[in-house]
Amino acid sequence: MTHLLSAEHLGRDDAVAILDTAEELKRTLLHREVRKLPTLRGRTVVTMFYENSTRTRVSFEIAGKWMSADVINVSASGSSVSKGESLRDTAATLAAAGADCVIVRHPASGAPQRIAGWLDGVSVINAGDGMHEHPTQALLDAATLRERLGGLEGRRVLIVGDVLHSRVARSNVHLLRTLGAEVTLVAPPTMLPDGMDRWLDEAEVPVSYDLDAELPGTDAVMMLRVQAERLGGGGDSSAGFFPSTREYSISYGLSEARARLLPEHAVILHPGPMLRGMEIASSVADAQNSVITEQVRNGVHVRMAVLYHLLASEETK
Amino acid sequence: MSSLFKGVRPYGEDPVDIRVEGEVITEIGTGLEPGEAQVYERDGLVALPGFVDLHTHLREPGREDTETIESGSAAAALGGYTAVFAMANTDPVADNDLVVEHVHRRGQAVGLVDVQPIGAVTVGLRGERLAELGAMARSSAGVRVFSDDGHCVADPLVMRRALEYSKGLGAVIAQHAEEPRLTVGAQAHEGANAARLGLAGWPAAAEEVILARDCLLAGQLGARLHACHVTTEGGADVLRWAKARGVEVSGEVTPHHLLLTDERLAGYDPVNKVNPPLREGSDVRALREALAEGVLDCVATDHAPHAVQDKDCEWSGARPGMLGLQTALSVVVETMVRTGLLDWRGVARVMSERPAEIGGLAGHGRPIAVGEPANLVLLDESAEWTVRASELASIAHNSPYDGMRLPGTVVTTVLRGTVTADEGKLA
């Protein structure tokens, strides 16, 4: 593996290898006082974030540091980016300055793919591109599900919410199916891409508008974040994708009553940041079967594993 | 000055010699004596009336770093064109007689191709109030086509007024059909590929609703409407329906929409970004059939040069548009001739005769016959070539066909008796 650009193009063997490494790293580091491995000493990792995202950036930064890589953070404000430098020039500059790996978060779908095409000998990790993909999120979700459900083969996972705009949904649809899970999408029709039926075979990825009907018999439910500006009642002139936050919450929010429809063993995921009381009830987010904090913890180990597979030399592997 | 083109096949039919004296075809026959004439041995080449492009962006004034009237004229001549209609979205906008006269004069000074300016429909392309269409029509440029291309004249009342007003000028309104409320932030054809790639969708219906609306308006008002770059199966169906009702509507299709689909977006290379976007295979098939049938009247390039920095970036930051003048013939040969959908008479119709008629350009799109203006293109239907974007005459290099092998080459272009391009070079 040279880059991690999408879950769609991540093969089963590579995905399993990353998850196995993450599990091993987690086990190794669990009871250690000093959680630092020497594996990537001397390697330079740069995070290039064109969107604010404290959680993802920090997770990558910690992952890099625990692997002993030198981690440098570049944010779109406070760098030449804000002076209008092109993406290509910024990427080329970071590569020339010695980056071994760039981790890219960008509002434009496909930006990390472009950078991977421009740079030679530098690994590119997609940390979320527009509405396209967020592969490390899907990997950490898969790691969490594997841990809690004992595996993914044949498991039924619901992805609920704004699928249209969600890179988390796109990455999970691909990765979870690669790993043998059955994925069902639950969303209002306005929050599903037109052309859905030709993108994903309906027989393989069923779509439902009715959350209550889907919850019994599911092994995991993944609630997507709903951005308030997508909903009606906002000040801008764009038509909302949904009449109101209240109606969204009533129709698609994971309330306490809804959570009770889940089988006992089922787990609840959320990529964060959560809007408590909107897409998920506060008590549900904090319940026994919620794995939201575990997702964050696993995020670090999964990202360590990704860095390891992309950057570790053959001798250190 | 006289020239003798020997052994050419008008419309791909029997070989003849064509004698041109001054600006006119004076003799057609076999075994013509050269006399004083310069002889061009062109055995077996297909002779067609010089191509006419209803939709070219020459970028001058404003973006001379990407194309000038001179470089664009060169690309046109090398592509077999003898006339191009220059779109109004320059900087300053061609929304007044001064700019259109300037563009027209520059075209004449360069002299490689007739540059016929298109005037803006509304001031500054803003879609709010009509530009001085009459002043542009009466200017020395004699504007007969008005378009806000790049922007849709979206306000139905403004469009109604434009259609109505243009009747008095004998002009046509060329609409860029794109309902702006349905394409906010749109990045790609709305469908399976946009869904997979996470690109905001540009729905086919956004084109079709405007086409339907404007056909109904033109029908009621008895005005002439031209549909720029029709890209969808539904759009072609709307035109078919309107024509059957007797609406005076014409439509164009671009070479790229005849050949390329949104499958090409997978790598996010903005060389494939264009507005309206590349559509699906079913649209491509429908557009080819509509062109063969005459529902779509002509091929127009929508030649749109862009600087490297406006393409060599992330998808959503890139400008939409592609080069087209030097590759149009080859794409038509590939998609329409080799498939048996058009014969050479048909190619003459869609690349020369109909666009000249629609644009009101006398002297172009005329038959190859004695007494007619000598605007000709001679082409080799059996030759193939590999497109090299950097070798095209345009200043910009944004050709989606770079590296592609295509059939059909332009050998010689003749503008009013003068050879403008010959064997791949300007004459």
Query: CA A51 to CA B60: how far, in whole Å?
Result: 37
From B181, which residue of chain A is nearest by alpha-carbon distance?
Answer: A238
Question: Structure tokens of B292?
Answer: 């063969």
Query: Measured between CA atoms, how close is B23 to chain A, in angstroms?
Result: 50
Ranges in chain B, pLDDT < 70: none
* Structural domain of A52: 12-134+296-311
Is A31 inside a domain boundary?
yes
Query: CA A258 to CA A241: how far, in whole Å?
Result: 23
* HSE-CB for A243 with a 13 A CA cutoff: 6
Say yes or no to pLDDT of A77 above 70: no
Query: CA B265 to CA A176: how far, in whole Å?
Result: 25
Return the bridge partners of B20, or none.
B3, B25
Strands (E), A224-289: 267-269
Q: Which domains are assigned to chain B?
A: 2-46+372-394+405-426 (2.30.40.10), 50-358 (3.20.20.140)
Give the model confidence (pLDDT) of A46-66 as tens digits. Answer: 999 999 888 999 999 999 999
Nearest CB neighbour to B314, from listed A114, A198, A199: A114
Amino acid symbol at A308: Y
B17, B148, B302, B310: the active-site residue = B302
Is A276 inside a domain boundary?
yes
Task: Report how far Cα B115 is from the mean position of its chain's Cα atoms.
Answer: 12
Query: Measured between CA atoms, how close is B195 to chain A, in angstroms?
Result: 6
User: What's the pLDDT at A276?
Assistant: 93
User: What's the pLDDT at A199?
Assistant: 86
> Are A281 and A303 members of one domain?
no
Is A4 inside a domain boundary?
no
Positive or negative, the Cα torsion across A210, A212, A216, A221?
A: positive
Residue from B196, B202, B232, B313 to probe the interface with A (highest A Cβ count within 10 Å):
B196
Give the number of domains in chain A.
Answer: 2
> Are A153 and A109 members of one domain?
no
Return the bridge partners of A28, or none.
none
> Are A103 and A162 members of one domain?
no
Query: Cβ–Cβ of B203/A194 closer than 8 Å?
Result: yes
Task: Note the residue count of chain A.
Answer: 317
Strand pairing report for B46-49 and B376-386:
antiparallel
Query: Cβ–Cβ of B196/A130 closer than 8 Å?
Result: no
User: 3-class DSSP state for residue A252?
Assistant: helix
Task: Note the residue count of chain B.
Answer: 427
Query: Cβ–Cβ of B198/A108 closer than 8 Å?
Result: no
Residue from A3, A90, A194, A241 to probe the interface with B (highest B Cβ count within 10 Å):
A194
Nearest CB neighbour to A108, from listed B192, B193, B316: B316
Query: CA B323 to CA B87: how far, in whole Å?
Result: 14
Query: Measured between CA atoms, how close is A129 to chain B, in angstroms?
Result: 9
From B309, which residue of chain A is nearest by alpha-carbon distance?
Answer: A86
User: What's the pLDDT at A202?
Assistant: 79
Is A2 inside a domain boundary?
no
> Are A140 and A19 members of one domain?
no
User: 3-class DSSP state for residue B35?
Assistant: coil
Query: CA B385 to CA B238: how far, in whole Å?
Result: 36
> Are A87 and A119 members of one domain?
yes
Block residue for tokens 């309906």: A202
User: What's the pLDDT at B276?
Assistant: 98
Amino acid symbol at A44: T
Query: Cβ–Cβ of B315/A195 closer than 8 Å?
Result: no
Query: CA B262 to CA A54: how far, in whole Å?
Result: 35
B-chain CB neighbours of A113 within 8 Å are 267-268
Structure confidence at residue A78 as a pLDDT band (50, 70, 90): low
Contact between residue A156 and residue A217 where contact means Cβ atoms under 8 Å apart: yes
Question: Structure tokens of B114?
Answer: 């007739």
**Number of Cβ pairs < 8 A linking chain A and chain B:** 79
* Run of H or E residues at B173: strand B172-175
> Are A129 and A143 members of one domain?
no
> Are A288 and A142 members of one domain?
yes
> Are A197 and A287 members of one domain?
yes
Nearest CB neighbour to A133, from listed B191, B198, B312: B198
Strands (E), A87-132: 101-106, 123-129
Structure confidence at residue A197 as a pLDDT band (50, 70, 90): confident
Burial class (CB in 10 A: 0-12, 13-18, 19+), B195: buried
Specify the range with the lowest mean pLDDT, choosing from A290-299, A307-316, B107-116: A307-316
Whether the predicted interface score ipTM is above 0.90: yes
Buried/exposed code over B200-238 (b: 16+ C-beta within 10 A; e: otherwise) = bbbbbbbbbbbbbbbbbbbbebebbbbbbbbbbbbbbbb
Query: CA A7 to CA A142: how far, in whole Å?
Result: 11
3-state helix, strand, coil in chain B (%, to 5): 35, 25, 45
> For position A42, which CATH number holds?
3.40.50.1370
Block residue for tokens 């027989």: A203
Burial class (CB in 10 A: 0-12, 13-18, 19+), A298: buried
Cα–Cα distance list, A282 to A148, A159, A252, A288 (Å): 21, 19, 15, 12
Other beta carbons less than 10 A from residue B111's beta carbon: 15
Contact between residue B325 and residue B84 where contact means Cβ atoms under 8 Å apart: yes
Question: Structure tokens of A66?
Answer: 């625990």
Nearest CB neighbour to A132, from listed B192, B197, B269: B197
> Are A159 and A284 members of one domain?
yes
User: What's the pLDDT at B358?
Assistant: 98
User: What's the pLDDT at A76?
Assistant: 74
* Run of H or E residues at B194: helix B192-197
Question: Structure tokens of B140?
Answer: 């020395």
User: What's the pLDDT at B255?
Assistant: 98
Query: CA B207 to CA B190: how far, in whole Å?
Result: 12
Active site residue B95: no
> Are A166 and A186 members of one domain?
yes
B-chain CB neighbours of A129 within 8 Å are 198
Give a three-class secondary structure readout of A219-239: CEEEECCCCHHHECCCCCCCC
Say yes or no to pLDDT of A193 above 80: yes
B-chain CB neighbours of A133 within 8 Å are 198
B-chain CB neighbours of A128 within 8 Å are none
Structure confidence at residue A244 as a pLDDT band (50, 70, 90): confident
What's the CA angle centered on B282, arms B178 and A174, to 5 degrees? 90
From B184, which residue of chain A is nearest by alpha-carbon distance?
Answer: A238
Query: CA A173 to CA A159: how far, in whole Å?
Result: 8
Cα–Cα distance list, A232 to A194, A239, B69 (Å): 20, 7, 48
Contact between residue B175 and residue B153 where contact means Cβ atoms under 8 Å apart: yes
User: What's the pLDDT at B26?
Assistant: 98
> Are A124 and A142 members of one domain?
no
B-chain CB neighbours of A108 within 8 Å are 314-317
Nearest CB neighbour to A111, from listed B184, B269, B314: B314
User: What's the pLDDT at A79?
Assistant: 61
From A197, which residue of chain B is nearest by alpha-carbon distance?
Answer: B192
Residue from B225, B237, B228 nearest B257 by CA: B228
Other beta carbons less than 10 A from residue B196's beta carbon: 23
Query: Cβ–Cβ of B192/A199 closer than 8 Å?
Result: yes
* Run of H or E residues at A174: helix A167-178
Query: Measured between CA atoms, how close is A86 to chain B, in angstroms?
Result: 7
Contact between residue B49 and residue B366 where contact means Cβ atoms under 8 Å apart: yes
Query: Measured between CA atoms, how close is B234 to chain A, in angstroms?
Result: 16
User: What's the pLDDT at A245?
Assistant: 85
Contact between residue B132 and residue B94 where contact means Cβ atoms under 8 Å apart: no
> Are A119 and A260 members of one domain?
no
Query: Measured between CA atoms, how close is B101 to chain A, in angstroms?
Result: 36
Cα–Cα distance list, B76 to B63, B114, B401 (Å): 18, 10, 17
Structure confidence at residue A229 as a pLDDT band (50, 70, 90): low
Other beta carbons less than 10 A from residue B30's beta carbon: 10
